[in-house]
Amino acid sequence: MSKESLSGSRPGTVYLIGAGPGDPKLITVRGAECIAKADAVVYDRLANPRLLRYMKPEAEKIYVGKLPDRHTLRQEEINRLLADLALSGKTVARLKGGDPSIFGRVGEEAELLAAEGVPFEIVPGITSAIAVPAYAGIPVTHRDYTSSLAIITGHEDPAKTESSHDWKKLATATGTSIFLMGIANLPYICQSLVSNGRAPETPVALIRWGTRPEQQTLTGTLATIVEQARETNFQSPAIIIVGEVVKLRETLAWYEKKPLFGKRVLVTRARSQSSALAEQIDELGGEALEFPVIRLREPESPAVREALDQALRRLGDFDWVLFTSPNGVSYFFRRLQQLGVDIRTMHKAKVAAVGPKTAELLAERGIIAERLPAKFQGEGLLDAILPQLTPGQEALLPRSDIARDYLPVKLKELGLGVTEVDVYETALEDQQSDEVLEQLRNGEIHVITFTSSSTVDNLIGILRKAGADDPAALLKGAKTVCIGPLTAETARKHGLQVDAMAAEATIDSLVDTLRRL
């Protein structure tokens, strides 16, 4: 039976989770579920920080990462930390790179938890021993080459008088040998294999940061790889794969051939919108780092809400309803439903839309918009419907609180009655920015995407709030890609260099622009 926790109640459960090899999408469904329910998440440097997005907002985040030359916490201290957190009544997620039972010391952590009466669960993960070679185009087995493999720790001290490995058996026992954490001992490993019967011409691959944008692969043989690694300053964390299957990389390499391979792209759109862009980036081999800087919400001001409701209750008065964004469509129909207003009251109005996505959302609701403008902004919309506009017509513009004045001003000049209502508003997203700030300083973010002027303004504001004295200088290490000329103009006003701009103000066009960088 479980002991009582320090708070007098039953202890929380500790989930010992394999976080996978690096690509955050390689987390298991069970692993993601356990992170989401945790009150505290304990993680190290081999667990991708993007996995923390599954956390509850109020959950505690604890870094216990180890580097080759220093340990943030000793293993014994980590074991004790997990037990103490659980004994205080917290549900704990312990993220460990790869699979926790393959050189992950999960046994040591679980033993203390068992001794303390803390319930725990071991959640297997995808080990780097198989995933990293696969991302480099190297299957660890192949019926034409080998049907056996060994996974070996490479983290042995070469100064030891006696190795824990039986090199005489190990050198030739299997067709594929995979060494984890062995770059520092590469000369010792190669020498031990050759001196115990492995042919010097046996192919070898070193793969660093496998499954991530930083993935690097170096191939050679047991006779050459040590010098090659020295010449290229090949560093950990990396795995070593020895065997004939390495030859398959020449024809099977796939990840590194993707258009956006090697690019980590900062996505600044609102969380409710970012997934479509992030998914396309990931599909093309990049890594989308979602960092929403704006939050969309219904208007908070009672006066603004009342003005919107009054306009929606008299939809039958309008000759035109002009939508300038997909968000405008979504929030417009949401409020209609909340008010119980029948869309058929809008029967006499012509409906126009800026951009194909806006028109698509209208079509999903059974409304076919007037022909689309050539330019997906207010100027283009006005040009497209101009022949149908006559003085005295009434136009409704359901928009955001920061929409431009161009369209309503021009419509009024043409003699139309214009009703502008805020169906949604944008707010500064308040979130932790330490990770993004550190990645920017380290040059780990390669591209920044802006999909509106407000995303530019808010990112600059968030970086200043986080302690960046000169946000523009901090962002210079990454290329800047904007969705349209207005967004690009805002970026330049903040001192940013715009490296590319989408041909059309659409996500598909933005992604095409990223491919050409």
Active-site annotation, residues: 44, 66, 181
Find tokens 């490995």 and name the residue.
165
Element (H, E) at 92: strand 92-96
d(CA 33, CA 254): 30
d(CA 63, CA 108): 19
d(CA 11, CA 60): 17
Q: Are strands 447-450 and 479-482 parallel, antiparallel or unpaired?
A: parallel
In the three-class reduction of DSSP (H, G, I as helix; E, B as strand; rest coil), residue 295 is classed as strand
* 96, 180, 191 from 218: Cα distances, Å: 26, 15, 18
Beta bridge partners of 66: 71
Residue pair 87/51 in contact (Cβ under 8 Å)? The answer is no
| Residue 478 DSSP symbol | S
Rounded (5°) CA angle 235-239-240: 100
Element (H, E) at 307: helix 302-313
Buried b (16+ CB within 10 A) or exposed e, 2-30: eeebeeeebbbbbbbbbbbbbbbebbbee
- 448 Cβ contact list (under 8 Å, min separation 6): 265, 266, 268, 459, 475, 478, 479, 480, 481
Nearest Cα neighbor of 291 from 424, 400, 444 is 444
| Residue 142 DSSP symbol | B
Nearest Cα neighbor of 349 from 376, 361, 374, 367 is 367
Element (H, E) at 441: helix 434-441
Chain CA centroid to CA 219, Å? 29
Residue pair 307/419 in contact (Cβ under 8 Å)? The answer is no
In the three-class reduction of DSSP (H, G, I as helix; E, B as strand; rest coil), residue 411 is classed as helix
| Residue 69 DSSP symbol | T
Nearest Cα neighbor of 152 from 120, 179, 188, 175 is 179
Q: Are strands 238-242 and 479-482 parallel, antiparallel or unpaired?
A: unpaired
